[in-house]
């Protein structure tokens, strides 16, 4: 069974299905259950339960089996959590994060930035020249922004992820 208290797992699931989705996962009844049974057992709205189940199913973290009632012809969907595939999902997420951080690092290293002292906007050199180094929102003079600290934070994060 997956440890739902692991901060990495919790963070991934919250990003994937939100706080209410995580609450649903934590309180979901064992075995095959309908979405209505899940909503009743967890106290979460049925539409949120359904949205969460579909997201989990798309990410291979829930299994759905449908059953047709022979007398009425209605379909019943039975759901089971299957968190056995979460490790490959976390690895895929880690790779995506590393790729995005490397892209951002290159962007930060390759550009010079100017920012509004009021915090309205941050522009690279070319964008700042188009605005004549004046904030397009408040008209203040744009100030050079040293992004060395930000670059170091990205590099530190990449080092951490590479060593995990």
Mean pLDDT of the chain: 93
* 159 contact partners, CB below 8 Å, separation of at least 6: none
pLDDT of 70 above 90: no
| Closest by Cα among 81, 37, 78 to 59 | 81
Percent with pLDDT over 90 in the chain: 81
Q: How is residue 34 written in tokens?
A: 């309908």
Q: What CATH number has the domain spanning 7-87?
A: 1.10.10.10
Q: Give the pTM.
A: 0.70
In the chain, where the domains are located:
7-87, 111-162
Dihedral angle over CA of 52, 58, 62, 65, nearest 10? 110
Which pLDDT belongs to residue 1? 58
Q: What digits encode the pLDDT tens for the residues 29-59?
A: 999 999 999 999 999 999 999 999 999 999 9
- Pairing mode, strands 62-68 and 75-81: antiparallel
Asked if 115 and 127 count as a contact pair (C-beta separation under 8 A), the reply is: no
pLDDT in tens, 115-149: 999 999 999 999 999 999 999 999 999 999 999 99
Query: DSSP strand E in 19-157: where?
Result: 62-68, 75-81, 113-115, 122-124, 143-145
Residue 7 pLDDT class (50, 70, 90 cuts): confident
Q: What is the structure's pLDDT at 8?
A: 86
């Amino acid at each position: 069974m997956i440890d739902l208290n692991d901060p990495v797992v919790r963070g991934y699931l919250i990003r994937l299905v939100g706080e209410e989705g995580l609450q649903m996962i934590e309180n979901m009844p064992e075995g095959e259950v309908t979405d209505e049974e899940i909503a009743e057992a967890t106290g979460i709205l049925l539409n949120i339960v359904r949205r969460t189940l579909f997201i989990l199913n798309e990410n291979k973290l829930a299994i759905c089996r449908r059953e047709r009632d022979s007398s009425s012809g209605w379909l019943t969907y039975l759901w089971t959590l299957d968190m056995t595939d979460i490790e490959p999902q976390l690895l895929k997420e880690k790779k995506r994060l590393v790729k995005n951080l490397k892209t951002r690092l290159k962007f930060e290293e390759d550009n010079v930035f100017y920012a509004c002292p009021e915090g309205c906007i941050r522009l690279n050199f070319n964008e700042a020249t188009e605005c004549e180094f004046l904030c397009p929102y408040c008209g203040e003079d744009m100030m050079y922004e040293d992004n060395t600290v930000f670059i170091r934070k990205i590099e530190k994060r990449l080092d951490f992820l590479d060593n995990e």
